[in-house]
Amino acid sequence: MRVKKLRESDKRGGKEVLSRRGKAFRWTISILLILYTGIAIFVTVVTLLDSVKNRSDLLKSFIAIPSSVTFDAYRKVLFENDFIRYFGNSLILTVGGTAGCILLSAMMAYGIARYEFKGKNLLSSYLLLGMMVPVQVTILPVFLMLKKMGLLNKLAGVLFLYIAGISMSCIVFQKFFKTLPRELEESARMDGCHDVKLFFRIIFPIAKPVIVTMALIKAIGCWNDFYMPMILLGKKNTTTLTLGIYRYVGQFTRYMSETMAAVVITLIPIVILYFAFSTQIMEGMTSGAVKG
């Protein structure tokens, strides 16, 4: 009896220790997230304030509230430079790269999830490898490949690479498609629906939450990408927003309001997309969490 009570006491003590550790971990994570959020908000507010300051206020302090608000920096960025061209180049790469990547990754993921063929496991492992290998490791062979293809210093070359980056999207789609009941496809085939029609009319629309989530992640990556355009796009007419802002930093070192205005304009499309599709993003993050 005494031994049994001691065992029960040890179990309760162990649970209390684990509970205390869990609370400490949650508190630590919460504090770190609060600090990160505070820093992000501070940087955003400072960027907005500096973009509407006149030059005298900006030289006095970069964190002070401006004595007067001016939008001259936005006017100079939009109408006195090639910012519109940079914006258009980034838009082409982002929209084209995102659409192509999502479509190809969804089709490939459905094939892996639903069909049996030789090399299926090898293909899945290859996709994981694509996520683990950093782009800096492959940039030299990619550079030489695009040079031989005649796509160096062309938007089509970077667009091709963005579309080819399907590893993460394909894995997420694959896990989602595995949760779908096979009866759905069997009933569609009994009604005379072939595989292509089945995918585009039934399966692809069902995956809308995942599509929106992965599309937003991909779009943010393409929109904010600096490394690939810096290496592969050397001409002025192919400059993207990130490269343009980099040049603004050197051009307007003394007066950073133009650079801050360019940063704010660059952030606007991503912020709009996030708030427009926030509900679908949350659905996409939870889709496939419970496997049927």
Contacts of 96 (CB under 8 A, 6+ apart): 159, 162, 163
Rounded distance between C-alpha atoms, residue 179 and residue 291, angstroms: 5
- Same domain? 118 vs 154: yes
Specify whether the CB–CB gap between 243 and 87 falls below 8 A: no
- Same domain? 29 vs 143: no
Q: Give the torsion through C-alpha atoms of 43, 45, 49, 51, to 10 deg.
A: 60
Specify whether the CB–CB gap between 143 and 152 falls below 8 A: yes
Per-residue pLDDT tens over the stretch 38-92: 998 998 898 888 888 887 777 777 777 887 888 888 888 888 778 889 999 999 9
Rounded distance between C-alpha atoms, residue 284 and residue 126, angstroms: 24
pLDDT at 252 over 70: no
- Same domain? 114 vs 228: yes
- Same domain? 78 vs 142: yes
- Same domain? 25 vs 92: no
pLDDT at 288 over 50: no
- Give residue 135's pLDDT: 84
- Same domain? 18 vs 152: no
Per-residue pLDDT tens over the stretch 176-196: 998 888 888 888 888 888 888
- Same domain? 236 vs 124: yes
Rounded distance between C-alpha atoms, residue 255 and residue 109, angstroms: 49
- Give residue 18's pLDDT: 52
Q: Which helix (H) or strand (E) holds 12?
A: helix 2-51
Confidence band (pLDDT; 50, 70, 90) for 250? low
Look at residue 85 and tell me if it is in a domain.
yes
For tokens 């003590």, what's the residue?
Answer: 13
- Same domain? 86 vs 152: yes
Catalogue the long-range contacts made by 9-14 (C-beta closer than 8 Å, 24 or more residues apart).
Answer: none
- Same domain? 28 vs 109: no
Kindly state the DSSP code that residue 180 receives in the 8-state scheme.
S
CA atoms within 13 A on the CB side of 292: 10
pTM for this structure? Answer: 0.81
Would you state the structure tokens that stand for residue 184, as one six-digit string? 């759905």
| C-alpha dist (Å) from residue 195 to 84, 100, 118, 184, 204 | 43, 20, 20, 13, 12
- Same domain? 107 vs 240: yes
Rounded distance between C-alpha atoms, residue 231 and residue 227, angstroms: 6
pLDDT at 158 over 70: yes
Would you state the structure tokens that stand for residue 145, as one six-digit string? 């490949």
What average pLDDT does the chain have?
Answer: 83
Confidence band (pLDDT; 50, 70, 90) for 9? low
- Same domain? 25 vs 101: no
Specify whether the CB–CB gap between 263 and 109 falls below 8 A: no
Total domains in the chain come to 2
- Give residue 219's pLDDT: 93
Catalogue the long-range contacts made by 268-277 (C-beta closer than 8 Å, 24 or more residues apart).
Answer: 269/223, 270/219, 270/220, 270/223, 270/224, 273/216, 273/219, 274/216, 277/212, 277/216
Lowest mean pLDDT among 94-98, 142-146, 181-185: 181-185
DSSP code per residue over 57-90: HHHH-SSSPPSS---HHHHHHHHSSSHHHHHHHH
Contacts of 228 (CB under 8 A, 6+ apart): 135, 158, 161
pLDDT at 6 over 50: no
For tokens 């995942």, what's the residue?
Answer: 210
Look at residue 68 and tell me if it is in a domain.
no
Q: What's the CATH code of the domain at 221?
A: 1.10.3720.10
Rounded distance between C-alpha atoms, residue 66 and residue 231, angstroms: 38
- Same domain? 155 vs 90: yes
Which residues form the domain of 18?
A: 2-51
Look at residue 60 and tell me if it is in a domain.
no
